[in-house]
Copies of this chain bind each other. A is one copy, B any other.
Amino acid sequence: MINVAIIGASGYTGVELARILCNHPQVRLTAATSRQYAGQPLAQVFPNLRQKTALLCENLSIDELCERADFFFTAVPHKTAMDIVPKLLSAGKKVVDLSADFRLRVVAVYEEWYQQHSSPELIPEAVYGLPELYRDKIKTSRLVANPGCYPTSIILGLAPLLRAGIIDPATIIADSKSGTSGAGRAAAVGSLFCEVADGFRPYKVGGAHRHLPEIEQEINVFLSEPVRISFTPHLLPISRGILSTIYARLQPGVQEEEIAQLYETAYAQEPFVRVLPGNSFPATQFVRGSNFCDLGFKIDQRTGRIIVMSAIDNIVKGAAGQAVQNMNLVCGFAETTGLESAPFFP
């Protein structure tokens, strides 16, 4: 049993962390910070948590936080995270950081897409928290950089193909669609119900989304020559879920059984990746509320392309659930602890 704190509990990632952790048998949730809601019960801010936690939202200093907990989830915006994390580590704590601050391994890339990095010395030790690729490193890490939601969906979809060298990586196009919780809980006109409901739209088109360098970083791990890919995010009128439709040119002559075998080999032992049978395609409504990533694929024989489809719940496998999975690995708990619930449908 460990004491755990959520720094930044008032967003959608924060409430989902609290929801998962309040039923986690090896964890005691001992602090939840929020400037905006300081003094209010967390279960008043998020009434779904009534009777599940008596925790108050608090505005705590790092010193106070360090007295409260040994493991931290930093669910704060980038920039804020890189100011907090070094202090937690100095105090001997372990951290899963859900911001972007420690995901990119090259400082210059981070600084090109975000801003100056104030703790570049920590970047080499931060582990990119995708357990399907970095499980062993995560287990011995004290700082896990929890992946972005879009990158999680895209990298899990492509990894078996890249590893096998069976697609032309320069032809990769990821057309991704995300639920609105990905935009966060900030009061913004563009996220209002009436602006989003009954509609659909792309945004940050043409290589403008900050998840792009993260996706490319992980793709290029598999390649001798780095590539650039196309990535287009879209906003879905749903709360939870990401579906990525990924296109790439396939080596001529490859058959579906061969591809199926690659996915099987990669993921048969993975507790949270479900490879669908042939001609079955994933849907966000079948991973909702769960830590699963559902994968399907199809070869388009007419054009020589493969289409890979990947579905996750962006708040779970794309954020809070994967963070808890990482905590389980770091702390030596069974990896699925607290994450066993089946997706709910409908």
Query: In this complex, what residue of B is CB-closest to A192?
Result: B191
Does residue A47 face the partner (Cβ distance < 8 Å to B)? yes
How far apart sit A239 and B245, CA to CA, in the bound complex (Å)? 22
User: A300 to chain B: which residues have CB within 8 Å?
Assistant: 205-207, 230
Whether B232 pairs with A307 at a CB distance below 8 angstroms is yes
CB distance from A172 to the nearest CB of B (A): 9
Whether B181 pairs with A346 at a CB distance below 8 angstroms is yes
Whether A307 pairs with B205 at a CB distance below 8 angstroms is yes
User: A192 to chain B: which residues have CB within 8 Å?
Assistant: 180, 185, 187, 191-193
How far apart sit A93 and B96, CA to CA, in the bound complex (Å)? 49
Tell me which of A98-106, A120-128, A142-150, A283-291 binds B: A283-291
How far apart sit A300 and B204, CA to CA, in the bound complex (Å)? 11
User: A181 to chain B: which residues have CB within 8 Å?
Assistant: 194, 346
Known contacts A185-B189, A289-B289, A342-B49; is-contact A284 B194 (Cβ 8 Å): no
Whether A200 pairs with B236 at a CB distance below 8 angstroms is yes
Whether B238 pairs with A200 at a CB distance below 8 angstroms is yes
CB-contacts of A200-257 with B (<8 A): 200-203, 205-207, 228-230, 232, 234, 236-241, 243, 245, 247
Whether B207 pairs with A342 at a CB distance below 8 angstroms is no
User: A197 to chain B: which residues have CB within 8 Å?
Assistant: 180, 193, 197-198, 237-239, 346
How many copies of this chain sit in the oligomeric assembly? 4
Does residue A50 face the partner (Cβ distance < 8 Å to B)? yes
How far apart sit A289 and B342, CA to CA, in the bound complex (Å)? 11
Tell me which of A15-23, A108-116, A157-165, A326-334 binds B: A15-23
How far apart sit A205 and B247, CA to CA, in the bound complex (Å)? 11
8 Å CB contact of A309 from B15, B205, B285, B309:
B205
How far apart sit A346 and B193, CA to CA, in the bound complex (Å)? 9
Does residue A188 face the partner (Cβ distance < 8 Å to B)? yes
Known contacts A230-B307, A238-B198; is-contact A301 B207 (Cβ 8 Å): yes
Whether B346 pairs with A12 at a CB distance below 8 angstroms is yes
How far apart sit A182 and B154, CA to CA, in the bound complex (Å)? 28
Does residue A27 face the partner (Cβ distance < 8 Å to B)? no
CB distance from A318 to the nearest CB of B (A): 14
How far apart sit A27 and B231, CA to CA, in the bound complex (Å)? 45
Tell me which of A63-71, A77-85, A274-282 binds B: A274-282
Whether B206 pairs with A47 at a CB distance below 8 angstroms is no
CB-contacts of A1-39 with B (<8 A): 12, 15-16, 19, 22-23
Query: In this complex, what residue of B is CB-closest to A289?
Result: B344
Whether B198 pairs with A283 at a CB distance below 8 angstroms is no
Please, what's the 1-or-0 string for A160-191, where 1 marks a CB less than 8 Å from any CB in chain B? 00000000000001010100110001011101
Give the interface centre of A299, A302, A309 by most chain B CB atoms within 10 Å.
A302
Does residue A46 face the partner (Cβ distance < 8 Å to B)? yes
Query: In this complex, what residue of B is CB-closest to A175?
Result: B175
Whether B199 pairs with A341 at a CB distance below 8 angstroms is no
Does residue A195 face the partner (Cβ distance < 8 Å to B)? yes
User: A202 to chain B: which residues have CB within 8 Å?
Assistant: 243, 245, 281, 309
Does residue A340 face the partner (Cβ distance < 8 Å to B)? yes
8 Å CB contact of A48 from B50, B52, B243, B287:
B287
11 contacts between A and B (CB under 8 A): A48-B288, A50-B294, A193-B237, A194-B346, A198-B239, A200-B243, A201-B282, A206-B301, A230-B300, A237-B237, A240-B346
